[in-house]
Structure 1
Amino acid sequence: MLPGMATPSIHPRPAQPAPLAAAISNAAPRQRNDACPGALRLHQADDGGLARIRVPGGVLQAAQAAALGEAAQRLGDGDLHLTSRGNLQLRGLAEDSGVRLAQLLDGAGLLPSPAHERVRNIVASPLSGLDGHGHLDIRDRLAELDRRLCGSEEASELSGRFLFAVDDGRGDVAALGADVTLVAVREGGTLLRVGADDDAGALHIADPADTQAAASEASAASAAAAAVTAAEVFLEAARQCGVRAWRVGELPITGGELAHRIAQRLGKTGQIQQILPSPPLPPLSAHGPAPGLIPAPTGPATALSVLAPLGRLTGHQWTLLARTAEQEGSGELRLTPWRGVVVPGLPPERAPAALAALDDAGLVTDPASPWRGVGACAGRPGCAKSLTDVRADAAAAATSGSVDGARALPVYWSGCERRCGHPRGDRVEVVAGTDGYGVTVVRGTGDVHPVPLSPHALHAPHSELAATVAAARDPRSTDDPHPTTTAHSR
């Protein structure tokens, strides 16, 4: 370590020695290479080619949004699909569209490094710098992390599933289970967390002792360098262990041991000034921005927050969002990991009318909307593994139920047991099986509570299924700690 550097403290518990850590690990090494789609590696789904475009932190300029809309219209099915990582997917692409798509994206500045385009998985607090919450505006950290990630030759070997998070201290994206998380600390500095499970490790990286105007840039550089180093150490550990790991939790060593290795690497390179004992994470809240108006605490600016029903934006909705950002706002869109979009920088007197126009276009603008918290996988006809058209069933249940979305548990509909894209934390899962839907309440602790139904509900109409799901979304739905009946409904 550097002279004067404090001994790093690992949170929540000291790392096990490597042999013991390997012995107690339940990690299951991957047996194949990562086939996660990207912008240059398309996945052939039942409804055509699928491209996943990484948008670090969800931040898009209006011109980039326009280019994406053009790509969807010219090459795909015309819609844009938001993912649970704040990225975008285009579907229905023709087999020969790959080159044209790459040219459009490159021209819009969305492919800064072709070798890294699948690993630019970064979620960031979408309201940072807009609503007065959090400890700092993390946009400079986000940009610096993306720049350094694309500049690391070693990091290009990460899987397309490895996830970074940059949290401004409010605890929103820190709750999303990233492999490497940067969290702004109230007292100053950055908490770097490695892993997301009980054996995760953490380091507190102090801000540089620079009081000049460049201090913010130096702090961003220090935090970003630490995050990229963490990813490089992860890859090194996987090679040393002889495993093919896509994410930190798949390594046969604890996050605490990994954090020790990261601290050693950082100390040798001199990338940071000091590592301090690690404070605890802020209270975690896996809830995204509520739809509606978001006034700034100071200054004449208002942001708009909307949700896309089931994460799907029509070409018209996307064009309207991009136009609103360009003509009314700051020229920026922020995509959220909760399948929403934030439009910053509107004059307060014009914001209500702009929000009303987005509502008229079919976007969710009411915090109490029953659509809030409703998600679903692709389902049929896009996915061959899906047993049914779950999106149609989810939409029917959302529109026929009486749910206060501001208070209800999130619900996620899956067409098969793989449950692709399901959220973390407390939620209701509606999973299609060969004999109907199973409805369960899952708590963040891992507790699963099947929802009992009457026997005749196996082939129930949508109204009965909607009522069952609505009842399960009530936060009080798990009063019985030991339910035993599994629910099925069509």
Structure 2
Amino acid sequence: MLAAMSASSPTTSPAVAGEVVPSRSPGDACARSSGDACPGALRLHAADDGALARIRIPGGVLTPHQAEALGQAAERLGDGELHLTSRGNVQLRGLAPDCGAELALLLSRAGLLPSERHERVRNVVASPLSGVDGLGAMDVRPWLTGLDRLLCGSDLATELSGRFLFAIDDGRGDVDALGADLTLIGHSDGDALLRVGERDAVLRVPAADGPRAAVTAAEAFLDTARDTGAWRVKDLPADAAATLPDDVRRRLEQAGVSATPRSRPRPPEALPPTPGRVPGGGREAALSVGVPLGRLDLAQWRLLSCGGGLRLTPWRGAVVTGIAADRADGLLGELSGAGLITGPDSPWGGVGACIGRPGCAKSLADVRAEAGAAVGPAGRLPVYWSGCERRCGHPHGEWIDVVATPGGHRVSHVRGAVSTEAATVRDDDPGALAATVAAARGTRS
């Protein structure tokens, strides 16, 4: 049996980005000021609604057996819901603090814990439609399995923070835009491009060496960051960040891997798959589905899990694969009837929120309820509601940022690294808050 750690109370709650204060843009870098508090499957986090487990799922890819195991864990050990994260992972909430060993055994039997020592560093997002719709430069699934295998085989990789992120993009630019620490990109000529941080410069390496190059780069980052306190590449001092790609190149060439510098600007916006039936396919079809606020009850989860496979996306959605073509439209109707987003006309499209009250002690508001009360018409600018300045799980690109503060809700328009404050609305005026958010969402630059 796996040795599971009991729930603890870290000094900081889990966050995808560093702590954000009003004078900074969401996602700005910050160096570590304490131990890595990111929860995992073996180290639970004590939240206000019970213990929390975060299960890393590289590329969001689940077999039906693995999806069923997660559903069982939510039903038997948690609050009966599965919460999707902005990295395509799954969080279980409302867990008993002493359930760690049972949860670990359940996940291990399903193949969801290939390495106890590496379970929190398996943060990998991948183009969710790769190999499904015929687009992109290549099918990145072999890279995904190869990277996960090499990560779990690296002793040094255990030192990575639970916040460190890998991305595997099939060339269409969807997950490349997410600002990962290391991004592998499929190239039209069959080679791989490795982006270190968010710089436009990339290293071109043979496709077969793509996963190896990414792990080499992660190990180079660890050596560079050892005395800096950096959690992620963007946290490095400017001089260290500037020299890291050259260090990666030297290491690769010493290992016999050709690495040629190239330029490839990072896409400005990460676009999720369009909800509905995925174009392409033959006798089997795929469906893209959005999940309002990333929260799934057991009935919804089991509907999503009834195909040949499931891919969770970094946009808190899912792609159901391996569906008989003559069954796809009927299943899409069932998913829509279950309250999921199956088309562009859903008012929930682009609406997101952190867990808020009562699940998070740091939250100043029940932002999920507030988001539901201010959904508004479909097709507007994305909006993300945060219960405090940390903005856990916030999106990338252009969006409306709604943050609960002691003085009310601050509504800002974020464009990349630039945040423009729009208004502050008092907490005692929910109608004004909804109207302010609706007006802000009505404009896209």
Shift of 1:284: 4.5
Match of 2:421 among 433, 450, 464: 450
Counterpart of 1:334 in structure 2 is: 311
Does residue 417 in structure 1 map to residue 383 in structure 2? no
CA contact (8 A) 1:377 1:419 kept: yes
Counterpart of 2:302 in structure 1 is: 319
Match of 1:300 among 259, 276, 283: 283
CA contact (8 A) 1:169 1:282 kept: no
Distance 2:423 2:229 in 1: 41
% identical equivalent positions: 59
CA contact (8 A) 2:348 2:378 kept: no
Distance 1:458 1:342 in 2: 37
Distance 1:460 1:27 in 2: 34
SS of 1:156 mapped into structure 2:
helix
Distance 1:283 1:379 in 2: 30
Shift of 1:200: 6.2
Number of matched pairs = 417
CA contact (8 A) 2:81 2:92 kept: yes
CA contact (8 A) 2:177 2:266 kept: no
* Superposed CA RMSD: 1.8
Q: Mark the CA change 1:84 to 1:376 in structure 2 (over 3 Å): closer, same or farther.
A: same
Does residue 265 in structure 1 map to residue 251 in structure 2? yes
Where does structure 1 differ by over 3 angstroms across 4 or more consecutive aligned residues? Answer: 26-29, 253-256, 281-285
SS of 1:277 mapped into structure 2:
strand
Distance 1:30 1:250 in 2: 9
CA contact (8 A) 1:292 1:365 kept: yes
Match of 2:348 among 349, 358, 371: 371
Distance 2:47 2:267 in 1: 39
Q: Mark the CA change 1:27 to 1:281 in structure 2 (over 3 Å): closer, same or farther.
A: closer
Match of 1:349 among 321, 326, 336: 326
CA contact (8 A) 1:295 1:301 kept: no
Counterpart of 1:7 in structure 2 is: none
Runs of at least 5 residues in structure 1 that lack an aligned partner in the other structure? 1-25, 208-218, 326-330, 479-490
SS of 1:191 mapped into structure 2:
strand
Q: Mark the CA change 1:282 to 1:97 in structure 2 (over 3 Å): closer, same or farther.
A: same
More deviation in 149-158 or 362-371?
362-371
Shift of 1:321: 1.4
Shift of 1:263: 0.8
Shift of 1:346: 1.9
Counterpart of 1:225 in structure 2 is: 212
Shift of 1:177: 0.8
Distance 1:282 1:170 in 2: 11
Does residue 36 in structure 1 map to residue 23 in structure 2? no
Counterpart of 2:12 in structure 1 is: none
Counterpart of 1:474 in structure 2 is: 442
CA contact (8 A) 1:201 1:256 kept: no
Shift of 1:319: 1.4
Distance 2:158 2:73 in 1: 26
Distance 2:420 2:366 in 1: 25
Match of 2:48 among 46, 49, 58: 46
Paired letter, 2:329? P
Shift of 1:49: 0.2
Distance 1:149 1:223 in 2: 13
Does residue 244 in structure 1 map to residue 229 in structure 2? yes
SS of 2:92 mapped into structure 1:
strand
Aligned ranges 1:252-291 → 2 under 5 Å:
252=237, 253-270=239-256, 272=257, 274-281=258-265, 283-291=267-275
Counterpart of 2:409 in structure 1 is: 437
Q: Mark the CA change 1:139 to 1:50 in structure 2 (over 3 Å): closer, same or farther.
A: same
Q: Mark the CA change 1:238 to 1:319 in structure 2 (over 3 Å): closer, same or farther.
A: same
Paired letter, 1:336? T
Q: Deviations over 1:75-125 (max 9, x none)?
A: 000100000000000000001100000000000000000000000000000
Structure number with the higher strand fraction is 2
Q: Mark the CA change 1:186 to 1:283 in structure 2 (over 3 Å): closer, same or farther.
A: farther
Paired letter, 2:259? I
Distance 1:429 1:368 in 2: 22
Q: Deviations over 1:246-275 (max 9, x none)?
A: 1011122343410110111111112x2x22
Counterpart of 2:69 in structure 1 is: 67
Paired letter, 1:449? T
Distance 1:461 1:372 in 2: 21
Match of 1:124 among 123, 126, 131: 126
Distance 1:72 1:409 in 2: 33
